[in-house]
């Protein structure tokens, strides 16, 4: 609202528009407003405005209230309170113009008007009218004695310029809000897209692309740090006779089974192991700082975790087992070769009866 009171402790509009102490000083020096204007503004308040603020505003308020667009001010802020605020602001003319609070009040007022979609020129008008009132009142008081009058007129012009400048700045705030809102939406969209491109929607595990990217990164890391001290193991696991589950209970139940299996694999592994859905009913686990013996133990734990109890899906109890192949990264080996060896070990587990772990030879 025009001239409404404000909370001196917070200056959010100043902050949003970058009006820190340095920028405030820049603005004041641009307008050549200095210490001497404090004293002049003081004299204007005490010698010209004091006791006459109502009358001075009254002189032009009726005409102002007839301007096109005033009804918008009336609707948004109320004509009476707008007038009262104008009078209060006149009483405080130029008071503490070099403080953050002064800037904040004008910026906040302008932002409120801009948000109410009231045109900037309509808010500029009371400042121009205030300027006119004061020039008239000063001319009357000093009887047009130019040399005495000039410093006062000069202060009135500069302080009005400051108010107009701050008003125009404050009008930018809704635009910034909008930009910030758009940025927020963009961030959310990016986040959503990133999730969609890296997460398997059914199980919440990494999808194939993300899994491959992470595997590549971990292999490079293991290479940099040395295979000996940083062994890397990979498990390829595949549900046994999953086609039968789909055929018996339907594809939707099959999907839920896959989701439950993913959950049990997660519980059987460590927080820092990487788990991904490799394809239909195949899961891959990448384990850093894990040698073949430990890799095998974790694969065993996964197998037992899945087998230990049937999955309750809808009204069915569905037993599921996994076949798993484990391979450890060899010196100079790439991800394709590592995956192939783990896959071959997994097929070996299938061939030799399923529901078991086979370890690929590391030599």
Ligand X SMILES: Nc1nc2c(ncn2[C@@H]2O[C@H](COP(=O)(O)OP(=O)(O)OP(=O)(O)O)[C@@H](O)[C@H]2O)c(=O)[nH]1
Catalytic residues, by residue number, are: 281
In the complex, least distance from residue 282 CB atom to ligand X, rounded to whole angstroms: 9
Q: Site map for ligand X, 328-357, x if CB under 6 A?
A: ----------------------x---x---
Rule CB under 6 A: choose which of 49, 205, 215, 239 binds ligand X: 239
CB burial class (10 A; 0-12, 13-18, 19+) of residue 354?
middle
Q: Closest separation between CB of residue 245 and ligand X, Å?
A: 8
Give the Cα separation of 329 and 220 in Å (integer).
11
Nearer of residues 3 and 325 to ligand X, judged by Cβ: 325
Question: Residue 314 Cβ, how far from ligand X at the closest point, in Å?
Answer: 13
Exposure letters 39-71 (e unless 16+ CB within 10 A, then b): ebbeebbeebbeeebeebbeebbeebeeeeebe
Give the residue, chosen from 258, 298, 322, 339, that forms a contact with ligand X under the rule CB under 6 A.
258
200 in contact with ligand X (CB under 6 A): no
Q: Which is nearer to ligand X, 45 or 354 (CB)?
A: 354
Q: Which of 12-20, 43-51, 232-240, 304-312 is the region at the interface with ligand X (rule: CB under 6 A)?
A: 232-240
Residue 241 in the binding site for ligand X (CB under 6 A) = yes
Among 185, 187, 243, 314, binds ligand X (CB under 6 A): 243
Stretch that binds ligand X, among 113-121, 193-201, 205-213, 251-259 (CB under 6 A): 251-259
- Please state, in angstroms and rounded to a whole number, the distance separating the CA atoms of residues 346 and 356: 9
Nearer to ligand X, 3 or 254 (CB): 254
Cβ 338 to ligand X, closest distance in Å? 21
Distance between CA atoms of 10 and 20, rounded to whole angstroms?
Answer: 13
Q: What ranges in 237-330 are assigned the alpha helix state H?
A: 242-249, 251-268, 292-307
What's the min distance (Å) between Cβ of 207 and ligand X? 12
Does the footprint of ligand X cover residue 254 (CB under 6 A)? yes
Q: Which CB, 142 or 241, lies closer to ligand X?
A: 241
Q: How far apart are CA 101 and CA 345, in angstroms?
A: 73
User: What are phi and psi for residue 270, nearest 5 degrees?
Assistant: -95, 160
Helix (H, G, I), strand (E, B) or coil at 8: coil
281 binds ligand X (CB under 6 A): yes
Applying CB under 6 A, among 255, 273, 340, 362 the residue interacting with ligand X is: 255
Q: Which is nearer to ligand X, 202 or 297 (CB)?
A: 202
Quote the CA–CA distance of 71 and 253 in Å, as a whole number.
Answer: 64
DSSP letters, 200-226, are -TTTSSB-HHHHHHHHHHHHHHHHHH-
SS3 241: coil
Quickly count helices (H) and strands (E) in the chain. Answer: 15, 7
Residue 157 is encoded by which pair of tokens? 């012009």
Note the residues at the interface with ligand X (CB under 6 A).
238-244, 246, 251, 254-255, 258, 280-281, 350, 354
């Amino acid at each position: 609202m025009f001239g409404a009171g404000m909370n001196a402790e917070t200056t959010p509009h100043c902050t949003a528009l970058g009006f820190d102490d340095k920028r405030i000083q820049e603005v004041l020096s641009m307008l050549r407003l200095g210490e001497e204007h404090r004293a002049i503004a003081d004299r204007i308040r005490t010698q010209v405005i004091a006791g006459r603020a109502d009358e001075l505003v009254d002189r032009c308020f009726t005409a102002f209230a007839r301007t096109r667009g005033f009804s918008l001010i009336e609707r948004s802020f109320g004509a009476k309170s707008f007038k009262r605020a104008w009078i209060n602001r006149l009483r405080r003319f130029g008071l503490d113009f070099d403080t953050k609070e002064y800037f904040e009040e004008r910026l906040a007022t302008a932002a409120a008007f801009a948000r109410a979609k009231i045109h900037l020129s309509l808010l500029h008008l009371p400042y121009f009218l205030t300027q006119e009132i004061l020039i008239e009142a000063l001319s009357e008081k000093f009887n047009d004695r130019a040399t005495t009058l000039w410093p006062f007129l000069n202060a009135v012009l500069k302080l009005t310029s400051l108010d107009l400048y701050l008003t125009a700045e404050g009008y930018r705030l809704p635009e910034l809000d909008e930009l910030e809102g758009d940025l927020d939406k963009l961030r959310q969209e990016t986040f959503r897209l990133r999730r969609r491109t890296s997460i398997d929607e059914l199980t919440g595990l990494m999808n194939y692309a993300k899994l491959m990217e992470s595997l590549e990164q971990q292999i490079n890391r293991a290479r940099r740090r040395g295979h000996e001290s940083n062994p890397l193991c990979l498990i390829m696991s595949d549900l046994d006779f999953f086609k039968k589950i789909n055929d018996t209970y339907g594809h939707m139940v099959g999907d839920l089974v896959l989701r439950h299996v993913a959950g049990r694999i997660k519980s059987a592994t460590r927080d820092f192991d990487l788990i991904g859905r490799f394809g239909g009913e195949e899961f891959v686990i990448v384990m850093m700082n894990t040698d073949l013996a430990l890799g095998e133990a974790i694969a065993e734990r996964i197998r037992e975790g899945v087998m230990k109890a049937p999955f309750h899906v809808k009204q069915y109890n569905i037993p599921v087992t996994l076949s798993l192949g484990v391979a450890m990264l060899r010196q100079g080996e790439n991800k394709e070769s590592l995956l192939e060896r783990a896959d071959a070990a997994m097929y070996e587990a299938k061939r030799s009866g399923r529901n078991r772990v086979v370890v690929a030879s590391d030599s």
